[in-house]
Structure 1
Amino acid sequence: MTTYLVAGGGLVLMLWFAMLIGVSLDTQGQRREWRRVAQQRRAAWEERREERRPREPEDLCIECPLRR
């Protein structure tokens, strides 16, 4: 009985490691994911850049001290 449990556990571990190695070798998936991350970073950068854009006097309210 113990032999079967050890053999079964070893087989499960071998399959698990084979799957992990196969996933790590999936370069197309990694490239796709890194492209998605880069696109999100560019969008966030553009959003922050737009927020830091100097305001035009027409964009500010009349009472705003920054209008002067």
Structure 2
Amino acid sequence: MTPENTPEPVWIKSSYSTDEGPDCVEVAAIPDHILVRDSKNPTGPRLALGPAAWRGFLPYASGH
């Protein structure tokens, strides 16, 4: 997803994720987008959300 001359994004595990649980989500910020991936599949698909979509996604993801 990132061009060869762009460094790999820095991924941060969600505070809602646990080491034991099946719900492990990581996020990374890149210019103009927030990336979301399953930490159990780091080379798998990534969801790229723009700022407005990210703001809409947060309440859904946190259950609020």
TM-score by length of 1: 0.22
TM-score by length of 2: 0.23
Higher helix share: 1
Higher relative contact order (CA 8 A, sep 6+): 2
Higher strand share: 2
